[in-house]
Amino acid sequence: MTINLKEMTIEEKLKAMEMLWDDICRNVPDLSSPAWHEEVLKKREERLKKGKEEVLDWNQAKKDIRDSI
């Protein structure tokens, strides 16, 4: 399979990534996060408690990303 990334728009690339990730999540039930994810999440949670981290709605975050590119 060949995909010509140079001809795809950013929106098409983002949609393709979302579709791939959704498919992986559905078809690989034992997909585990690496051990270092726990440490990253703990640090982010601590930053959130201290008011140093901003939480965005996922749909708004995706819109902001799309709007910025």
Over the stretch 9-65, which tens digit does the pLDDT of each residue have?
999 999 999 999 999 888 887 778 888 999 999 999 999 999 998 888 999 999 999
Instruction: Note whether residue 41 is domain-resident.
Output: yes
Instruction: Note whether residue 43 is domain-resident.
Output: yes
- Pick from 15, 59, 56, 63: nearest CA to 3: 15
Q: How many domains does the chain have?
A: 1
Q: Structural domain of residue 49, as residue ranges?
A: 10-25+35-68
Report H helices in the chain. Answer: 10-27, 36-49, 58-68
Is residue 10 within 8 A of residue 67, CB to CB? The reply is no
User: What local confidence, expressed as pLDDT, does residue 12 receive?
Assistant: 95
Pair of tokens at residue 52: 């140093």
Instruction: Note whether residue 16 is domain-resident.
Output: yes
Helix, coil or strand: residue 69: coil
* Position 68 confidence tier, pLDDT thresholds 50, 70, 90: very high
Using CA atoms, how far apart are residues 69 and 11, in angstroms rounded to an integer?
9
